[in-house]
Structure formats: structure tokens, C-alpha cells
């Protein structure tokens, strides 16, 4: 795959795939831009802050484009045919206690069903179809978390958001599939981070560090910084920039999310202008509902 570079803030920065001593992108089935790590050491090195200006892209809910739903394997593969990325996804429990992917607690927005996810069995959910962002019904079905864990190995990293699935169930699936080399865990507190670290000492986590209270909570947890990336908010601000500096001195990349802000603008041109503004603030990871558009901005240097 061709290597790219981009400019921002007047300084040259290599695109996120040009790391030293990390796995190269490999073409897989359907010509996916895939990441394959041999072990958790390589995974940690990939996500480590190195001060080289590189930016990694995360697909929020897996990303969405016309004809593809969020939180489904077909949508992940659609993104990976266009670019490399890792994906934040949303496990929720069915009535029969099986984790499936669904952002909302209800089915109405993204499926042909209605009501709460927790009121349906997996068999009943399999009868539904997923909708794309415009509300068009697709051929895609709701996947289980286990299916996505199996699919993602050798292709990408999946970051499991904290919804209503007990941590014990998540941990059991990771252990069953030896998935700590390609599964990341979103943690909202130091206690949650410690729960997973005690069971998987090499696993990566996406930890909340939006303010000093959350940062200090992570310090108290005793989880090594090398096991973390940090979500610092929707943008880099004067208020959180000090926290970013503290995290980066410990080798922690700082992630922002444009999903609740710029992703909601009406046109691609408007969104691209705002993505460029964020790039100029130099985050280390950008999470977006439309990762392919952020990727275009990074590669064009606009």
C-alpha cells in the first residue's frame, strides 16, 4: 500500500501508518487495509505516543456511509477497503444475556425493530435488518460481540465501549479467544481499568482523562501508562492541554472525538474544514463517525 504524508500546523508529520518497528499494513480478503500484530508488545508500541506528529483514526461505532449500518462487520470492512482504522464499538446484552453490537439501548433508530435490545433474544434479533444513517434498510444483521472478536483478529483493533454488558462477561470472551492482542477496552474509571488489568496485564485500554479528577483516578489505579490511550474530550482546549502534556510525557496518546460536533455538519466541505481545524490542534487520535472523510483530510494536507 502506498505510504502518505500530510502537513499540519506548519510542521511535517508522517501519517499514522508510518511508525517505526510496528507491523506493516497488509492486504487481506476484500483488499482490506489490515493491521496484524504478532503480540501485545507490538500493539502497545503502535499506540505509544512518540512525538512524531502522527495521527491515528478511530471509527466511532464503526463508522457509517450510505448503504452500511454502524456497528456491523459489513460497515467495518467497507471502511477498511478505503483506509486503515481501528473501531470503537458498542456491546449490549440481549434478553438471553448474549452481547450484541448496538449503540442505543433501543432498536428503533438503527434497525427494523422497535423497543429495547434487552427485551429481545438473540434469535429474535437475527430476524431484524440494520439501517444505514439515512434510515435505509440494508441486508446487514446485528452481529454478536463474539463474532466481531473472531472477525477482527488480524484485521483491526476493536475498542469496546462501556454499555450494559457486565465486565465479567467481556473478560470471559477475551479470555476464550485470547483476544488481548486485538481488543481494547474503554474504561470510565480507574477501578474499571484495574479490573481488566488484573486479568489481562497486557491489554490496551481507552481511558477517560478529560479533567484532573479523571487523570488522578487513573494514577491511583496503578495501571501502567503503557496500557492506555486517553480520551480527553471533543477537542484540545487550553483547559485540557496541560493534561495532554502530562499524558504524553508518559507515552500516552490523546484522543478527541468529533462525532458529537463536526460529524453532524450537513456537507462534506463543511466537515472537512472543521476536521482540518482539529488536525491543527495536534491530537494524537481522532475518533469520527465518518472516518473516511477524516482520512481524506489527513492525506490531502488541506
Structural domains of the chain, with CATH = 5-91+144-300 (3.20.20.190)
Of residues 159 and 38, more confidence is placed in: 159
Dihedral angle, C-alpha 291, 295, 298, 301, nearest 10 °? -120
pLDDT confidence of residue 24? 39
Residue 10 has pLDDT above 70, yes or no: no
Compute the average pLDDT of residues 83-98: 97
Each residue of 168-183: pLDDT tens digit?
Answer: 999 999 999 999 999 9
pLDDT confidence of residue 64? 81
How far apart CA 186 and CA 230 sit, in angstroms, is: 9
Of residues 103 and 18, more confidence is placed in: 103
Written as one string, the DSSP assignment of 13-26 is: EE-TT--TTSPPPE
3-state SS assignment for residue 144:
strand
136 CB contacts (<8 Å, ≥6 apart)? 66, 67
pTM of the predicted protein model: 0.89
Residue 195 has pLDDT above 60, yes or no: yes
Residue 4 has pLDDT above 90, yes or no: no
Amino acid at each position: 500500500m502506498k505510504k502518505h504524508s500530510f502537513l499540519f500546523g506548519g510542521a511535517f508529520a508522517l501519517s499514522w501508518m508510518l511508525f517505526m518497528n510496528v507491523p506493516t499494513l497488509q492486504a487481506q480478503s476484500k483488499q482490506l487495509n489490515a493491521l496484524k500484530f504478532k503480540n501485545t508488545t507490538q500493539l502497545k508500541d503502535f499506540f505509544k505516543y512518540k512525538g512524531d506528529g502522527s495521527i491515528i483514526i478511530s471509527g466511532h461505532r464503526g463508522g457509517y456511509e450510505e448503504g452500511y449500518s454502524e456497528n456491523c462487520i459489513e460497515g467495518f470492512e467497507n471502511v477498511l477497503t478505503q483506509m486503515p482504522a481501528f473501531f470503537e464499538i458498542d456491546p449490549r446484552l440481549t434478553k438471553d444475556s448474549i452481547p450484541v453490537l448496538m449503540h442505543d439501548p433501543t432498536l428503533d433508530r438503527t434497525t427494523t425493530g422497535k423497543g429495547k435490545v434487552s427485551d429481545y433474544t438473540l434469535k429474535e434479533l437475527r430476524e431484524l435488518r440494520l439501517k444505514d444513517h439515512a434510515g435505509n434498510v440494508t441486508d446487514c444483521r446485528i452481529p454478536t460481540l463474539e463474532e466481531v472478536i473472531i472477525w477482527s483478529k488480524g484485521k483491526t483493533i476493536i475498542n469496546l465501549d462501556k454499555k450494559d454488558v457486565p465486565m465479567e462477561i467481556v473478560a470471559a470472551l477475551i479470555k476464550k479467544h485470547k483476544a488481548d492482542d486485538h481488543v481494547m477496552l474503554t474504561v470510565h474509571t480507574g477501578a474499571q481499568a484495574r479490573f481488566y488489568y488484573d486479568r489481562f496485564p497486557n491489554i490496551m485500554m481507552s481511558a477517560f482523562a478529560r479533567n484532573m479528577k479523571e487523570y488522578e483516578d487513573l494514577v491511583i489505579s496503578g495501571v501502567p501508562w503503557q496500557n492506555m490511550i486517553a480520551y480527553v474530550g471533543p477537542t484540545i482546549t487550553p483547559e485540557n492541554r496541560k493534561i495532554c502534556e502530562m499524558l504524553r510525557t508518559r507515552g500516552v496518546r490523546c484522543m478527541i472525538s468529533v462525532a458529537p460536533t463536526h460529524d453532524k455538519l450537513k456537507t462534506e466541505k463543511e466537515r472537512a474544514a472543521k476536521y482540518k481545524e482539529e488536525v491543527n490542534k495536534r491530537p494524537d487520535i481522532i475518533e469520527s463517525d465518518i472516518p473516511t472523510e477524516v482520512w481524506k483530510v489527513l492525506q490531502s494536507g488541506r
